[in-house]
Chain A
Amino acid sequence: MKVIPTALKSVYLLVPVAIIMAFLWAPPAQVLGDASRILYFHVPLAWVSILAFIVAGIFSIAYLVDKKHTFTGLDEKAYNSAALGLAFTILTVIAGSIWAKISWGVFWNWDPRETSIVIILLIYIAYFSIQGAMASSENRGMVGSAYLILAMVTLPFFAFLVPRIYPSLHPDPIINADRKIFLDDQMRSTLAVAIVSFTMLYCYILHIMNRMMKLKKHIEEIYHDAD
């Protein structure tokens, strides 16, 4: 059981490796030059934010299916994953805005992809508002889980469909409609390492957050029993 937490600690090595590869090993892109290196941070951040929201949705489905509560704290795990997803989405927007400033000359121009990411952000901010408002309600987990599942269903539309339907300045996804990767081998491997390391970072932080959640519940139970 200790294998996974130990494997997650590889993040301490993987992230610096990804950073060094992104800055020194990967060649600069032809048009943007060295500024294009933000690709190795922006794309993994975007990937992890989508992953986090999907994981939150899966935890929510598990919470609703598991009526006997065999697994404890599934709704809180979903909450943690959604929190991480929101954080990563904000960071994706920040990294994307910097990239937009360099390549388009403005931080924000309401491009379809920018608009869709704002809608995704609003959807998940609303989730946290609902969770905050229902802090003392017994149905908090149920309502939150149902909301997260609905939010997960909307993700493919906003993240993948909308930017393809409307003309956009945003570069195509790395794996685009032609199913080709327009990156050379060094860029591709750097991007792969960056994606793996950011995914590990997400898993590691989620693991710590879930442990803290368990610990909090356990301590609350101890105090409750003492009363």
Chain B
Amino acid sequence: MNVEMTGLTRRFGRTMAVAGVDLHAGPGVFGLLGPNGAGKTSLLRMMATAIPPTSGTLRLLGHDPGSYGPRREIRRRLGYLPQNLGYYPGFTLAESVEYFALLKEVPAARIPAAVAAAVERVALGGRAKTKLRALSGGMLRRAGIAQAIVNEPELLLLDEPTAGLDPEQRVAFRALLRDLGQRATVVVSTHLVEDVGAACTRVGLMDQGRIVFHGTPEDLAARGEGYGSGDAPLERGYSAVLAGARS
């Protein structure tokens, strides 16, 4: 298992953002759905080792991120795209990706090829020398994905990766997700159920800090049969599960 968590919680003051999540995931694309404030981003940040859990156990890529050495090993093999993607506007796209490749300890000799490959995979090869401040919002999102995959991560965490992408790019991105999911565990947090339907092999639905559903996209769609709210089967399933969890 690349991701193993048991009874994982995260508290911010009086707010319980993640309230006892159990999750195990191996290679494949795992979609994390949920309304705003469900705890998706907090869960992803814990998996990204950005914040420690308040309680529970977490093992990533076979290591305990609570200790420095194993955490460093996890980070070498981790890719992370935060929801609020920051960037250095003066860097070119290639420099930015190279910078994070260096921080991720990609062997120096491999960096030029890794940077070129990552930039190509997000279809920004022609913009490698463009400064980030000159890129559009969608291009910046793709630049963020490029930095996340530059180290060929075994665990890739993407928080709202398709926000700001045009339909054509979203289609291309889903293809990229499927490809990455062949070898790595990809966890995608999103509001867009069509992304889940098109790219994810498994899906989890979070509400109020808990996972209230897990299964395949087909299972989720099946939950919505006969439920009136929503235009598509997955949306109906999403709404039905949330309504059930809250009732």
Determine if chain A interacts with chain B: no
| A residues with CB within 8 A of B | none
| B residues with CB within 8 A of A | none
